[in-house]
Amino acid sequence: MASNNDVNTAPIARERLASACVCCGSDDLAASPAILMPFVAHRAFGWAPVEIDESWGLKTIQSGMAYSICKTLRCRKCDHLFCDIRFSDAEMNAIYAGYREEVYVALRDHYEPGYAKRNEGLVEVVSYKPAIEAFLDPYLQDPLTILDWGGDTGSNTPYEQRRTVLDIFDISGKDVVPGARVVTLEQATSAKYRLVICGQLLEHTPYPSDVLAAARKAMDAESVLYIEVPFEAIMQADVANRETVKRHWHEHVNFYTPSSMRGLLESGGFEVLDQGVLEISIGGGNARILQVACRLA
Ligand SMILES: [Zn+2]
């Protein structure tokens, strides 16, 4: 079927505080109070936690620690779980500039003691590239040109031997691996690639449908889009009223289920080719990720 890059993927309002599901657009949401973790509040807004005491002279406020509050929202239609705060482009840049580099790590270790040591495990090259390749092999054609959207340095991008092009679009501003090229949004969306990768990205993005709408522009009928997001522990369990259990939000502002991911893709004009759950080891522990391969519908 002919692809249509002008598909309307944006019925969802781009709000500071989401009032509808960012995956399926439903406004049937359950809400519960939560906090934005101090490291993220500090990076995004410059808001550090503060202790309120009697010296503040506030007649109606109790003394104690004040953190940045937010809400946990759960979509009753697709089960997506998300933070109501949706960061602006400037705030996203403030959070992710120099991602996991010196300044980032120092501030995060201040708020989350032990992070610097844990980060040494996180920056190791992922060990599951062969599993990604096995998942995607049935759908890919040569010559294999790759756009890695949010690909950081490119060290985690699969198909080191097979790829003929690796372009990376990322807001972290890092140097990339030899043979890769950093591209602007305009460059990325004016070319066509056989494989577009959004790995470990859509859990961070305020409006994932915006990323998918842009990624479409880099695709044609022979292109495959590969998406990978964490399958968070709380989403794997059969938990009633999950919004009342998820009490804090960090960099991952979207927690997906297989159904919320499918809803996001289908409303964005994609046909799901395959969807799976992969067990990986990362930072010394085990984790599960959701994998999806899709093409233009
Ligand atoms: Zn939804």
What DSSP state is assigned to residue 125? P
Judge if the upstream peptide bond of residue 143 is cis by omega within 30 degrees of 0: yes
For residue 283, the model assigns a pLDDT of: 65
CA of 276 to the centre of ligand 1 (A): 20
CA of 188 to the centre of ligand 1 (A): 29
CA of 178 to the centre of ligand 1 (A): 40
pLDDT in tens, the chain (297 residues): 334 444 444 467 789 999 999 999 999 999 999 999 999 999 999 999 999 999 999 999 999 999 999 999 999 999 999 999 999 999 999 999 888 889 999 999 999 999 998 877 665 655 789 999 999 999 999 999 999 999 989 999 999 999 999 999 998 778 999 999 999 999 999 999 999 999 999 999 999 999 999 999 999 999 999 999 999 999 998 889 999 999 999 999 999 999 999 999 998 999 999 999 999 887 667 899 999 999 999
CA of 251 to the centre of ligand 1 (A): 20
Q: Which amino acid, one-letter code, is at 181?
A: R
CA of 248 to the centre of ligand 1 (A): 20
Q: Name residues with Cβ closer than 5 Å to ligand 1, which is an ion.
A: 21, 23-24, 26, 75, 77-78, 80
For residue 1, the model assigns a pLDDT of: 37
Instruction: Give residue-wise pLDDT tens across range 45-83.
Output: 999 999 999 999 999 999 999 999 999 999 999 999 999
The Cα–Cα gap between 207 and 256 comes to 13
CA of 75 to the centre of ligand 1 (A): 5
How many Å from the N-terminal Cα to the C-terminal Cα in the chain? 7
- Domains delineated in the chain: 29-296 (3.40.50.150)
CB atoms within 10 A of CB 259: 15
For residue 32, the model assigns a pLDDT of: 98
CA of 61 to the centre of ligand 1 (A): 36
Q: Quote the pTM value.
A: 0.90
Q: Quick one: tokens of 153?
A: 């340095």
What DSSP state is assigned to residue 126? P
CA of 255 to the centre of ligand 1 (A): 11
Nearest CA to 129 out of 148, 165, 155, 152 is that of 155
CA of 20 to the centre of ligand 1 (A): 8
For residue 29, the model assigns a pLDDT of: 98
Angle at 269 between CA 232 and CA 186, to 5 degrees: 90
CA of 134 to the centre of ligand 1 (A): 30
